[in-house]
Amino acid sequence: MEFVDKIKEIIGESTVPNKEPVRWGEVERSLGLALPEDYKVLVSTYFTFNLGPISLVSPRPGTPGDRDLLDATQASEEIFIDLYIEDPDVVSEPHRKDGSPLGNHLYVFDFHPKVPGLLKWGKDYLGGDYYWYVNGSSGEWSIVAHARDGWWDEHNMPLSEYLYGLLVGNLECDVVSEFFDADKKFVEWPWPKD
């Protein structure tokens, strides 16, 4: 949990007292898999987690936005199919912003519950989506980001290392880096009352 601790050190403690706990057992049973521990710690610690433009999907009762990881994933899959089904060439080869192929991925990703497949953990306010590439145990999942404009990026690291890299500016991600707002790095909803 090295990177979780580093993130918490930078952004501070939660400003929202008396949060209803997340029922991780129910969440994981509904997904049919164990989620990464770093994600569960961050979501359990903060009422909502919004870092720069990125908001984490939070299954905590009462939080705004997406609360169900599978529903969020399926909604993204439907949008993806609607947007890209007309051009099979675009769908067949995930590519980076510079047009180069995305690693060993020769065909578009499947979405969870298919394995291997994408499971959505976040989104940004410019239409980007952030996923785990579910393949193997949760400690082996990579981070896959998809820009609204159609390109992809992948990082073979845990979620907390990815977020920490964005926070301190030492991670290059074609999907988020140019949009990361250094002045408003972390926001927890609801706003604290004066």
Residue pLDDT, tens place only, 31-63: 999 999 999 999 999 999 988 888 999 999 888
Between β-strands 129-134 and 50-51, what pairing exists: parallel, antiparallel or unpaired?
Answer: unpaired
The pLDDT value given to residue 194: 39
Characterise 18 by phi-psi region: left (phi > 0), alpha (psi -120 to 50), beta (else).
Answer: left
* pLDDT tens by residue, 7-35: 999 999 998 888 899 999 999 999 999 99
* Predicted TM-score of the model (pTM): 0.89
Sheet holding 117-124, edge to edge: 152-155, 142-146, 129-134, 117-124, 54-56, 50-51, 186-187
Domain boundaries, the chain: 2-187
Q: Which segments in the chain show pLDDT lower than 70? A: 83-92, 95, 104-108, 177-184, 190-194
Could you count the other beta carbons within 10 Å of the beta carbon of residue 149? 11
Instruction: Determine the CATH number of domain 2-187.
Output: 3.40.1580
Please name the residues in contact with 167: beta carbons below 8 A apart, sequence gap of 6 or more.
7, 10, 11, 51, 52, 185
pLDDT of res. 191: 46
Residue entry with tokens 């720069």: 52
- Residue 59's pLDDT is 94
